[in-house]
Structure 1
Amino acid sequence: MLRVLAVDDEEPALAELLFLLRADPRVRSAEGVLEAAEALRRLGLRGPDGAADVDAVFLDVRMAGLGGPDLARLLAGRAEPPRVVFVTAHAEREEYALRVPGLPVVDWLLKPVRRERLAEAVRRVAELVAADRAPHPGRCGVRSPADGVAVEGEGGTRFLPVADITRAEAHGDHVRLYTRQDSHLVRIPLSTLEECWRAKGFVRIHRRHLVSLARIDALRADGGRLTVRIGASVLVVSRRSARELRDRLVEKATTNPPVNGR
């Protein structure tokens, strides 16, 4: 079932949208806020399992201050952005679609929102979220987790061995994979790679970064901030990830002690 956040700066419209959402059996919870700033704060919360606790955001397009497309653009840069449904009183779909490139907007609803039309939007969101959650063969975008990730290059599609990957960085609903020589953009959630590659020695150090422990060149603590260096890249380790990173490094050192004192 879906966890939904509705954002509209007009209280009557927000109340009506929440009423309709809560009446849909596929919606487990629906909360509402009257401004984008409060929505950003609410969307920063995490559930008990560490995952984002909002599956979809129903966004009014025109709001005072930060508008719906502006908020959607900010959400698109997150590691695991929620699904977005725009709600508007104007026939402006094409105009705003151009202003939010790369954001997978699930649907557009015209005010006043009709129950039947909202049900269709919820159905679309529910199907996408269910597909994200469901485990299935090839979920990691590979033939098996030990093989590699399918990437596009000048010579066509090839499989990039996991052992060649130094780190992965989330870019909206894509991930950029880095090797010592180059990088590749693939459409795989970072959370999926984290799950599939944990046994391969990868650890999440930030909401946007997954790194190979074997490829870390240096670990540094400066003024309470922990960073890792991989080649020329210096990445900040989030406070919530610092403990796990240290534990994994200690585990690695214990499991693979240096040979001949080196």
Structure 2
Amino acid sequence: MNATPPLKVLLVDDEPLARLRMRSLLEACVDPRAEVVAEAAAASQAQAWLREHACDLVLLDVQMPGPDGLQLADALRERTAPTGLPAIVFVTAHAEHALRAFELDAIDYLTKPVRRERLQAALARVAQRLAERAAAQAQLQQQQGATAGGEAASADVVIVNDRGRLQRVPVAEVLYFKAELKYLTLRTAQQSLVMDGSLSDLEQRLGERFLRVHRNALVAKAAVRELERHAPTDFAELEGGEGAEGWAVRIAHVNEWLAVSRRQVAAVREALAQGAA
């Protein structure tokens, strides 16, 4: 018998029949198991429920009357909670929002009609993400305890599972993390590694050493070298959305440019000023 507690799921879909079918599919999933703890027919209902309750996963329809699923996910990213944000898996009949969904740290993106095997794979990814988050929090607490005891904080590392090979990367060597669809890219001066994880989780763990310059990028403040305004066509990631104004930051050692959202320009300037002080 599997003693692992089931994943606690919030279903958000404006169609009752769609919620009923998803509930039935979840009941058929066995590894990991999942339990629907609440349902919501609108983003506002889901947000109200999440203010008072916690869950492991939000299965979120994209297209709904009023605020849509993408807007709800964006609002949840702004929320802070001691237990962290729930994982998000989008469910929709259309695939054109997939890139935007992963920029919002979604773990997966399911298209209707959802197959049980595909849902089971998404649940497995959620369970893995939650386990990694718990391990990262435990590691952070251990490191904080070691620092308080006078040990060097430079032992802080990121554990990367790159195609089955575990690698310890010192945080001091990391230039940036960037969301690339379902995965993250960790960039150092010497290499690029693909890893699973969430920018939101990393941002919370790494604290003031890193700066969220864009929805899809978390940059080490020490690696910020230059901020410039460029034509939006200079960078693929600057096409539309937050990067439409054309701001970008140059990263030390690799001389790469990353898009900067309009609301983060002031924070990047402050990081540059602190580095020059």
Structure 1 residue 13 corresponds to structure 2 residue 17: yes
> Corresponding residue for 2:273?
250
What aligned pairs does 1:83-232 form with structure 2 within 5 A after superposition?
Answer: 88=113, 93=116, 97=118, 104-106=121-123, 136-138=137-139, 146-147=154-155, 148-151=157-160, 157-199=166-208, 201-222=209-230, 224-230=245-251, 231-232=254-255
Deviation at 1:84, TM superposition (A): 6.0
2:259 to 236, 241, 245: 236
Which protein shows a greater Rg?
1
Deviation at 1:194, TM superposition (A): 1.5
Structure 1 residue 81 corresponds to structure 2 residue 106: yes
Partners in 1 of 2:187 and 2:129 — Cα distance?
28
**8 Å contact kept, 1:176–1:185:** yes
Structure 1-normalised TM-score?
0.58
Higher helix share: 2
The residue type equivalent to 1:136 in the other structure is Q
> Corresponding residue for 2:91?
59
Structure 2-normalised TM-score?
0.55
The residue type equivalent to 1:227 in the other structure is A
Q: 1:246 to 1:174 in 2, by over 3 A?
A: same
Q: 1:45 to 1:85 in 2, by over 3 A?
A: same
Partners in 1 of 2:172 and 2:210 — Cα distance?
10
Partners in 2 of 1:138 and 1:205 — Cα distance?
25
Structure 1: tracts of 5 or more residues without a match: 108-123, 258-262
Q: 1:170 to 1:104 in 2, by over 3 A?
A: farther
The residue type equivalent to 1:150 in the other structure is I
Structure 2: tracts of 5 or more residues without a match: 1-7, 25-34, 44-60, 147-152, 232-244
Partners in 2 of 1:136 and 1:53 — Cα distance?
13
Deviation at 1:227, TM superposition (A): 0.9
**8 Å contact kept, 1:169–1:175:** yes
2:78 to 36, 49, 55: 49
- 1:136 is paired with a residue whose SS is helix
Q: Deviations over 1:166-208 (max 9, x none)?
A: 1111234532111122111122322222222234x31110111
Deviation at 1:55, TM superposition (A): 4.8
Deviation at 1:74, TM superposition (A): 4.0
- 1:26 is paired with a residue whose SS is strand
Q: 1:84 to 1:40 in 2, by over 3 A?
A: same
Equivalenced residues, count: 212
**8 Å contact kept, 2:176–2:186:** yes
Deviation at 1:220, TM superposition (A): 0.7
Deviation at 1:210, TM superposition (A): 0.8
The residue type equivalent to 2:103 in the other structure is R
